[in-house]
Amino acid sequence: MGRGYTIPGYFENCIVTGDEIRKNTLFGNALFKYSRHELKEAKVFGSTVLVFKNSGIYEPGLFGKRLFKVTPNGEVREDKLFGRVVGAIPPEWVDGLKAEVPTQSNDLQRHDHINTDVKEEETLEELKERLDIETGWVADYTNVKVGAETITCPRKYSTVTAIAPALAKDGLKKVKIHAGVTSINTSTVHGYFFIVDADNPNYSSENGVLYNYDKTILYSVPTNTDLGYFIIPKSVKVIGAHAFSFSLAESINIPEGVEEIEDFAFEYNKKLKQVYIPKSVKKLPAKAFIESKKVVLHTPYSEKPSFWEIDLAAFKAVNWNE
């Protein structure tokens, strides 16, 4: 029996019994079932949620997106060059490779390259605990109460890695970040009402909006709050990727001083109608306003600058010299 298996956004620190993923508790119920390189819901005629193929973990479907890379020994890694280890699956699930359940000794050998300071006397349970902490906190139904509106990152974690989308659908609104959190994966953790401990030296929050400590980077606005006319603080220099994804803002004033707008910053804003972009903005990527089709842009420019990569035909209008 393996312990501590994790796929970010789906399950964390679970056990494998036969072909089932179960909660790591005394009478842990089955969450998923593995069958022929597919992970399915643990119920009769359960739907496929993940597919294991080509050394990766994919969304189901003919053209399912690859979510993670997987090494032959079962390490789950970010899907990018030199992606870090974020979880683990049984090695026998990887591309049909047949492998026996690892013993304590060969399991330690498998993971000792992650941290060369592993002590010889480290037990398997200690190893799993260390890997769990190194992976970071993944919030899902294995560690969050069904229907919870507020969750708090446990003190042992310094990284918030992912929050399962199902939690938001089930009512999750607020996320509390303690003073020891040094990293938040804002690609997978955004759109919540953030409450950051005042003693955190890396992040800050105001009215649920997540910033870096000195408020020069705006990471995320809450999607469950009616923002109306939103004024970005003058301290902000960068509007991060997904910062306003699915927000309820109707009008956004970007102040002079903002220099960069990252990919997907204003994607899927169905209510957004007015955005002011000053001349200080020197990076405006093509994917900044995906599926935000009602927007009228306002800008002091008299014509499209060369560094604006956006397609102006995608906007309702552009008002120049404003």
Q: Are strands 137-139 and 209-212 parallel, antiparallel or unpaired?
A: unpaired
Q: What SS3 class is residue 25?
A: coil
For residue 313, pLDDT over 70 is answered with yes
Read off the amino acid at residue 319: N
Q: How confident is the model at residue 282 (pLDDT cuts 50, 70, 90)?
A: very high
For residue 80, pLDDT over 90 is answered with no
For residue 102, pLDDT over 60 is answered with no
Output Rg (C-alpha) for the chain, integer angstroms.
22
CB-count exposure of residue 253 (10 Å: 0-12, 13-18, 19+): middle
User: Over the chain, what is the mean pLDDT?
Assistant: 86
Among all chains, which residue has been given the structure tokens 């994607």?
267
pTM, 2 dp: 0.63
Secondary structure letter of residue 306 according to DSSP: T
Q: What is the pLDDT of residues 3-49, one digit of tens each?
A: 478 898 888 888 888 788 888 776 678 888 888 888 988 887 788 89
- The per-residue pLDDT for 1 is 32
What's the first-to-final CA gap in the chain, in angstroms? 65
Read off the amino acid at residue 256: E
For residue 255, pLDDT over 90 is answered with yes
- The per-residue pLDDT for 62 is 76
* Strand partners of residue 240: none
**CA 74 – CA 254 distance, rounded (Å):** 45
Cα dihedral sign for 255, 260, 265, 266?
positive
- The per-residue pLDDT for 194 is 98
Lowest pLDDT segment from 125-134, 206-215, 224-233, 275-284: 125-134
For residue 58, pLDDT over 50 is answered with yes
- Average pLDDT of span 87-111: 55
